[in-house]
């Protein structure tokens, strides 16, 4: 096996120097001083790019409300996070709502989060197979999943090859998502195995999440360029480089989100973009809905897609402090 394809799964390192914040600051300074966005041309991919709404962006986080909000704002489809809620696994309900709204079920998010260890099945591989088969039943082509935790035994040790096997068995794309190191003072705790960063592993398909990349201190433009051929799915959001996984509305953080979307459009990317923003703590429904509308308009603008909605500024680097100063 070549060096480029060899997994790092055998390593024993549990912590590393905390470099996420310094990396984030360095990347932010670079984009502040270098013009990356092409304001002269509106780029658009030769391939269709759909924009979906994740159920995790909707409050309450129900299947019906997700379809309702996606249809109201003009999204192309939805992504359903499979959770403890039985509705998220109800094939008849999901297909009925899809038919009623005319919206595609673009993807399912597997219940691989920390607080969902026994959703669908206690065996992790069986959990992925069930999710993939659910995806087929509702017409979704992609299952998004997180890398495993170190304590998940054989599932973690055989994850890279196992994901490929489940994908081949079911015919569904399993797109592994970039995560981030957990922080403890000056050290980063590497809880994911083989890594929170999927770039070094031999996966067939990847999901890129801007908020996770922000927390990890990643350079979004460079990362997306590096994984372009394997990138199947994007979670559209933003972050300010803080310790938290923020999932801000795109354009309200410090990540080069606009630049990255334009890069995808300019290089004829083919895949799905799903808005995954945190609206759980918003007091007013009107404010929450505006966040969803703004996120969709942002995506259409910087991907060069036609939109009847007002388009935001071409730059994603309007700092929170700048917004506050402007009132």
DSSP 97-108: HHHHHT-EEEEE
If pLDDT is split at 50, 70 and 90, which confidence band does 311 have?
very low
If pLDDT is split at 50, 70 and 90, which confidence band does 11 have?
low
Backbone angles phi, psi at 8, to 5 degrees: -90, 20
Residue 104 belongs to some domain of the structure? yes
Question: Under DSSP, is residue 95 helix (H, G, I), strand (E, B) or coil?
Answer: helix
Residue 74 belongs to some domain of the structure? yes
DSSP 123: S
pLDDT at 316: 40
Whether omega for the bond prior to residue 241 falls within 30 degrees of 0, making it cis, is no
DSSP 188: E
pLDDT at 119: 83
Q: Is residue 37 within 8 Å of 259, Cβ to Cβ?
A: yes
Question: Under DSSP, is residue 120 helix (H, G, I), strand (E, B) or coil?
Answer: coil
pLDDT at 324: 33
Mean pLDDT of the chain, nearest integer: 87
Nearest to 258 by CA among 271, 245, 243, 273: 273
Give tens-digit pLDDT for 163-219: 999 999 999 999 999 999 887 666 777 889 999 998 889 999 999 999 999 999 999
Distance CA 67, CA 254 (A): 30
pLDDT at 308: 42
The number of domains in the chain is 1
Tokens of 17: 């120097």
Residue 39 belongs to some domain of the structure? no
If pLDDT is split at 50, 70 and 90, which confidence band does 34 have?
confident
Residue 2 belongs to some domain of the structure? no
Residue 38 belongs to some domain of the structure? no
Task: Flag the least confident range among 3-17, 33-47, 298-312.
Answer: 3-17
Question: Under DSSP, is residue 142 helix (H, G, I), strand (E, B) or coil?
Answer: strand
Q: Is residue 249 within 8 Å of 294, Cβ to Cβ?
A: yes
pLDDT at 185: 63
Residue 68 belongs to some domain of the structure? yes
Residue 242 belongs to some domain of the structure? yes
Q: Does pLDDT of 315 surpass 50? A: no
pLDDT at 201: 94
187-189/182-184 β-pairing: antiparallel
Range of the domain at 291: 15-23+44-303
Task: Kindly compute the dihedral angle of the four CA atoms of residues 243, 246, 248, 252, in this order, to the nearest 10 degrees.
Answer: -10
Q: Is residue 150 within 8 Å of 191, Cβ to Cβ?
A: yes
Mean pLDDT, to the nearest integer, of 104-126? 89
pLDDT above 90: percentage of residues in the chain: 71
Distance CA 308, CA 327 (A): 27
Domain CATH number, residue 110: 3.20.20.150
pLDDT at 213: 96
If pLDDT is split at 50, 70 and 90, which confidence band does 26 have?
confident
Residue 313 belongs to some domain of the structure? no
Contacts with 66 (C-beta within 8 Å, 6 or more apart), sequence order: 53, 54, 55, 58, 78, 80
> Could you give the strand order of the β-sheet that contains 182-184, starting from the edge strand earlier in sequence?
15-17, 187-189, 182-184
Distance CA 220, CA 302 (A): 15
HEC string of 199-237?
Answer: HHCCCCCEEEEHHHHHHHCCCHHHHHHHCHHHEEEEEEC
Tokens of 14: 């549990």
Q: Is residue 197 within 8 Å of 220, Cβ to Cβ?
A: no
pLDDT at 18: 64
């Amino acid at each position: 096996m070549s060096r480029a394809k060899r997994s790092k799964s055998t390593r024993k390192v549990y912590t590393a120097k905390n470099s996420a914040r310094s990396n984030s600051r360095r990347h932010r300074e670079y984009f502040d001083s270098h013009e990356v966005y092409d304001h002269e041309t509106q780029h658009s991919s030769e391939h269709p790019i759909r924009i979906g709404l994740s159920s995790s962006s909707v409050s309450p986080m129900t299947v019906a409300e997700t379809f309702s909000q996606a249809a109201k704002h003009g999204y192309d489809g939805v992504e359903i996070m499979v959770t403890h809620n039985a509705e998220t696994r109800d094939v008849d309900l999901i297909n009925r709502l899809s038919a009623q709204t005319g919206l595609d079920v673009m993807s399912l998010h597997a219940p691989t989060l920390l607080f969902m260890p026994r959703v669908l099945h206690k065996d992790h591989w069986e959990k992925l197979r069930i999710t993939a088969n659910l995806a087929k039943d509702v017409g979704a082509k992609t299952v998004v999943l997180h890398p495993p935790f170190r304590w998940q035994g054989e599932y973690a040790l055989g994850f890279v090859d196992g994901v490929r096997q489940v994908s081949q068995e079911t015919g569904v794309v399993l797109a592994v998502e970039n995560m981030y190191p957990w922080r403890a003072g000056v050290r980063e705790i590497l809880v994911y195995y083989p890594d929170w960063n999927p770039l070094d592993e031999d996966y067939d398909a990847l999901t890129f999440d801007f908020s996770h990349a922000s927390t990890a201190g990643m350079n979004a433009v460079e990362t997306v360029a590096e994984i372009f051929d394997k990138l199947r799915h994007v979670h559209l959001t933003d972050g300010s480089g803080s310790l938290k996984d923020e999932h801000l509305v795109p354009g309200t953080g410090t990540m080069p989100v606009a630049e990255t979307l334009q890069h995808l459009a300019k290089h004829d990317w083919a895949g799905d973009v799903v808005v995954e923003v945190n609206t759980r703590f918003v007091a007013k429904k009107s404010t929450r809905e505006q966040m969803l509308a703004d996120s969709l308009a942002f995506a259409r603008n910087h991907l060069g897609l036609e939109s009847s909605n007002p388009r935001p500024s071409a730059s994603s680097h309007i700092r929170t402090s700048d917004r506050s100063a402007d009132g």
